A and B are shown apart, each in its own frame.
Chain A
Amino acid sequence: MVELTVNGQTHSVDGDPDTPLLYVLRDHLELNAAKYGCGLGQCGACTVMVDGEAIFSCVTPILLLEGRKVTTLEGLGAIEKPAPIQQAFIEEQAAQCGYCIAGMMMRAQALLQKNVRASDGEIRRALEPHLCRCGTHMRILKAVHRAAELMQAAAAKGAI
């Protein structure tokens, strides 16, 4: 039995400590945004955040996660109330098949949480570990820039 905190909720997971987080998210918790791509930490489709850092959930055994805060795409927002990163990806229609997109969004979210003014170069470098075989890269980049603007606008509004 391992205790996991995912999207603010604590779950007791009945699984071996060496189970990859991705399997627990999808099979036990029915959080299906993170995808199984390569299983080797080489494609980025399984990316989620742990304590604000983007990590590959396919190579992260749950034994490492005691006391850590896991955030998946579901934890950012929902269809009724999308988070800025989700809003931006919808507005830019950045997904084609969509398989890589949840991972891309989580990596971008982690970057923008740390630096909402990330430059184009920084965004490109941050997203380097992510593969997209449809080729919507330009829209993905546009969406991340748009998300940054939405976040800045929201922050400005909050400040007033």
Chain B
Amino acid sequence: MKRSTAIAGTAATAFVALGGAAMAFIWKPEIAPIDPSRLARFDPELVRKGANLAALGDCNTCHTAPDGQPFAGGLPLPTPVGVVYSTNITPDPDTGIGRWSEDAFRRAMREGVDRKGRYLYPAFPYDHFTLVSDADDEALYAFLMTRQPAHAAAPVNRLPFPLNQRPVLAGWNLLFLRRGPFKPDPAHDDLWNRGAYLVEGVGHCGACHTPRNLFGAEKRGEAFAGGEAEGWRAFPINASSPASVPWDADALYGYLRRGWHGLHGVARGPMAPVADNLASVPDSDVRAIAVYVASLMGEPAPERRRQGERLAADAEPFGSGGKPQSAGSQAAPPPQAAGGAGAAIYASACASCHESGRPAPYGGVNLALSTAINGETPRNLLNILLAGLPAADAVRAPIMPGFGAILTDTQIAALTSYLRSRFSAKPAWSDLPAQIREARDGEVAANPSSDARQTAATSH
């Protein structure tokens, strides 16, 4: 009796001690609020530098809701486990970060903890931002604190228990967060290291381009091996890049800077806003990113290089501008090759643009150059077939009509199989019907904030 009490007592003491240690580990203190009316003035040069970093980090892309004020948050981010809403990072004192000191901002970037000490979800890529330097955090802070404040509280996240309990993220951080700072690699030059710092840090390219594990963390051993982003495949940007013509630093630079490249096509889907932002940052930073990503991809094998050169030469009269932009829209379809229903649909509905010879980016890319058709999954091709490339707001961008309303699933499967067999040397995709269903469902799910899409969803 006595002994068991003693054991129980020891166990209880140990439990409390352990719990205390865990609490000390989990618990993050609040950082004192600042008085927003007494916010320091910021040097315009610092603000400008912060604007560039914010563009490199695509802060506006997630922290802006459709038709919302920039940086005011509220965009739903669908994750495999639920929906997380982006927060308001304008300097509004009540709903934004107006009461955050620079220390609080830096802690959020480094540790994923907000000013009050609450854990942030890693939908906010602090696992990358932890590499951002003190000087760059200072500039980002200056930029954000000089935005127009917007009074906008983020909607409550829709997450199941226990994921709605933020302290569980302490465990996630213990397992997956590797704190900075960024360590330059002396074996490479400054440009490469600048690129590495931007890609791994504020640019957080791996957030989409690296596959994630069951806990939603990027898989360490598979950096840049391709991932998912909002219903799109983020292609591998390492040695396994499926690009038809191998990338090099010059091509990457042009693509990232302008949003398209004649031998690779256009940046669309979640890559479109990335390219839009990269149009505004210093040239040297885009060059640095291109150099680093090209080194991740490595030199192509001689055979792949030769194949790329062959494709580029074949595509010359078509995709890369053999004809002027004003070339007729009624280009005669090529004589119909054997290939059944898919070939017939391609010849009559696709070829008039994709073999028109009008230059990129507004002429349709020659599909032999299409990464989507050469990819591991048909998802991006299906997304584009179904929804097309809708006109973008306030920027010049290519347009493609969607064919989701007119093509039946059977017709889409026939067309997709034909495109794969004609324009790629890779094996046929398996399980197309399921992939097509998923892409059709995703058309609605990809943008849950759009009431138009919800209407479409409920009316079927």
**Hey, which bits of chain A sit against chain B, CB under 8 A?**
17-18, 20, 38-42, 50, 53-56, 59-61, 63-64, 114-115, 118-119, 121-122, 125-126, 128-129
Q: Identify the closest chain A residue to B328 (Cβ).
A: A39
**B456 contacts the other chain (CB 8 A):** yes
Would B452 and A42 count as touching, CB distance under 8 A?
no
Q: Can you list 23 A-B contacts (CB < 8 A)? A: A17-B348, A18-B344, A20-B348, A38-B329, A40-B329, A40-B352, A41-B388, A41-B401, A50-B405, A50-B406, A53-B406, A54-B405, A56-B401, A59-B349, A60-B349, A61-B349, A63-B344, A63-B348, A64-B349, A64-B406, A64-B407, A121-B67, A129-B390
Q: Which 7 A-B pairs have the closest CB atoms?
A: A41-B401, A18-B348, A61-B348, A39-B329, A53-B405, A114-B459, A125-B452
**B43 contacts the other chain (CB 8 A):** no
Find A39's partner among B330, B348, B406, B455 (CB 8 Å cutoff): B330
Q: What B residues does A125 contact at CB under 8 A?
A: 450, 452
**B168 contacts the other chain (CB 8 A):** no
Considering residues A50, A59, A115, A128, which has the most beta carbons from chain B within 10 angstroms of its beta carbon? A59
Q: A39-B329, A40-B401 are in contact. List 16 more A-B contacts (CB 8 A).
A: A18-B347, A18-B348, A39-B352, A42-B401, A59-B352, A59-B401, A61-B348, A61-B349, A64-B345, A64-B349, A114-B455, A114-B456, A115-B459, A122-B451, A125-B450, A128-B390
Query: Which residues in window 344-371 of B have CB below 8 A to A?
Result: 344-345, 347-349, 352-353
Would A129 and B391 count as touching, CB distance under 8 A?
yes
**Hey, which bits of chain B sit against chain A, CB under 8 A?**
67, 329-330, 333, 336, 344-345, 347-349, 352-353, 388, 390-391, 399-401, 405-407, 411, 450-452, 455-456, 459
In the bound complex, CA of A59 to CA of B333 (Å): 12
Q: What A residues does B388 contact at CB under 8 A?
A: 41
Considering residues B348, B401, B406, B450, which has the most beta carbons from chain A within 10 angstroms of its beta carbon? B406
Q: Identify the closest chain A residue to B344 (Cβ).
A: A63
Q: What B residues does A63 contact at CB under 8 A?
A: 344-345, 348
Least Cβ–Cβ distance between A116 and chain B, in angstroms: 11
Find A126's partner among B330, B407, B452 (CB 8 Å cutoff): B452
Known interface pairs A60-B406, A61-B349; A119-B401 also in contact (CB < 8 Å): no
Least Cβ–Cβ distance between B414 and chain A, in angstroms: 11
Q: What A residues does B336 contact at CB under 8 A?
A: 18
Least Cβ–Cβ distance between B455 and chain A, in angstroms: 5
Q: What B residues does A41 contact at CB under 8 A?
A: 388, 400-401
Q: What B residues does A115 contact at CB under 8 A?
A: 455, 459
Least Cβ–Cβ distance between B133 and chain A, in angstroms: 41
In the bound complex, CA of A125 to CA of B405 (Å): 16
Q: Identify the closest chain B residue to A16 (Cβ).
A: B348
Least Cβ–Cβ distance between B300 and chain A, in angstroms: 34
Q: Identify the closest chain B residue to A119 (Cβ).
A: B451
Q: What B residues does A126 contact at CB under 8 A?
A: 452
Least Cβ–Cβ distance between B364 and chain A, in angstroms: 9
Q: What B residues does A38 contact at CB under 8 A?
A: 329
Q: Identify the closest chain B residue to A128 (Cβ).
A: B391
Would B344 and A17 count as touching, CB distance under 8 A?
yes
Q: What A residues does B345 contact at CB under 8 A?
A: 61, 63-64
Would A122 and B406 count as touching, CB distance under 8 A?
no
Q: What B residues does A114 contact at CB under 8 A?
A: 455-456, 459
In the bound complex, CA of A19 to CA of B110 (Å): 60
Q: Identify the closest chain B residue to A38 (Cβ).
A: B329
Q: What B residues does A128 contact at CB under 8 A?
A: 390-391
